[in-house]
């Protein structure tokens, strides 16, 4: 058989096999071509009086000059967070990078530059992979609500996530599902470029790691606490990079307990 035809046939078989998987965490529906509309992620706590932390008012956040914001962006980028453009603009992508940094360093998860953030940037905490793998691999720390992508021993990117909310949720078609993220060692086995519209919402560039339909995927809401139906949500901008960088077959560790970190002396 022609190798190109064989490749297409193999891909079709994999896609059809995945499509036949039963009830999923946040998938199970149709593919949609990427659209730039509404592809903005908020990582702030938009829930009034959320029980996991104080209400945070963006208007009350300290204001810093463009030069200082740019310097914070440069430091975060060097630490392998993704603040977006190094332009001194305190936009949504910078808020997501700051949220991930605050989670990793045990700070209030505001998404804003604060005196505590500026102090922590001088002596930051670094994640350490807990398992040795060659090539690209992923570790998700549910205790801190962060996800780290490694290449061998090197950190490629540190991302904020919400994992499963660990409570029942009402299914759109009736009944209840369990919003719990599966833990353990998995391998990525399927991915979709663009938007996958499921019965629980849109998944941006999902990369699936568990046969029940659990994926790492982009979302418009990546709050600073566990809030998903079971998938690992990441900012949409990062999901485009993740889907291209993390190849099928790459391992992922999902840990319920905190993973190793270190702070250089």
pLDDT tens, residue by residue, 131-165: 999 999 999 999 999 999 999 999 999 999 999 99
Q: Do 27 and 149 sit in the same domain of this protein? A: yes
From 154, 180, 185, select the one nearest 167 (Cα to Cα).
180
Rounded to an integer, the average pLDDT of 231-248 is: 98
- Examine the pLDDT at 35 and tell me if it is beyond 80: no
8 Å CB contact between 161 and 140: yes
Q: Do 156 and 253 sit in the same domain of this protein? A: yes
From 234, 243, 217, select the one nearest 27 (Cα to Cα).
217
Q: Do 213 and 106 sit in the same domain of this protein? A: no
Q: Do 138 and 245 sit in the same domain of this protein? A: yes
CATH code, 86: 1.10.101
From 170, 206, 208, select the one nearest 189 (Cα to Cα).
208
Rounded to an integer, the average pLDDT of 65-91 is: 97
Q: For residues 12 and 260, what is the distance between their CA atoms, to the nearest angstrom? A: 40
pTM: 0.84
At residue 6, the pLDDT reads 34
**pLDDT level of residue 48 (50, 70, 90 thresholds):** low
CATH code, 141: 2.40.440.10
Half-sphere exposure of 226 (CA within 13 A, CB side): 19
Give the domain extent around 233.
22-39+127-260
């Amino acid at each position: 058989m022609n190798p190109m035809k064989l490749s297409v046939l193999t891909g079709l078989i994999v896609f059809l096999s995945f499509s036949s998987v039963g009830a999923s965490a946040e998938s199970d529906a149709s593919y949609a071509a990427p659209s730039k509309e509404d592809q903005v992620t908020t990582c702030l706590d938009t829930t009034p009086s959320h029980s996991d932390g104080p209400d945070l008012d963006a208007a009350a956040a300290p204001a810093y000059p463009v030069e200082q914001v740019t310097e914070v962006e440069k430091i975060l980028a060097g630490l392998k967070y993704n603040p977006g453009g190094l332009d001194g603009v305190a936009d949504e992508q910078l808020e997501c990078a700051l949220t991930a940094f605050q989670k990793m360093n045990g700070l209030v998860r505001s998404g804003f530059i604060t005196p505590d953030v500026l102090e922590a940037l001088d002596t930051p905490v670094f994640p350490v992979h807990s398992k040795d793998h060659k090539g690209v691999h992923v570790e998700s720390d549910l205790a801190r609500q962060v996800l780290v992508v490694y290449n061998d021993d090197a950190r490629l990117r540190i991302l904020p996530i919400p994992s499963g909310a660990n409570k029942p949720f009402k299914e759109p078609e009736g009944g209840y599902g369990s919003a719990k993220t599966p833990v353990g060692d998995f391998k990525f086995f399927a991915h979709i470029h663009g938007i996958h519209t499921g019965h629980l919402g849109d998944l941006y560039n999902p990369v699936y790691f568990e046969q029940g339909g659990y994926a790492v995927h982009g979302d418009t809401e990546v709050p600073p606490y566990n809030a998903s139906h079971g998938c690992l949500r990441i900012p949409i901008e990062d999901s485009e990079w993740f889907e291209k960088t993390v190849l099928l077959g790459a391992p992922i560790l999902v840990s319920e307990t905190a993973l190793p970190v270190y702070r250089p002396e």
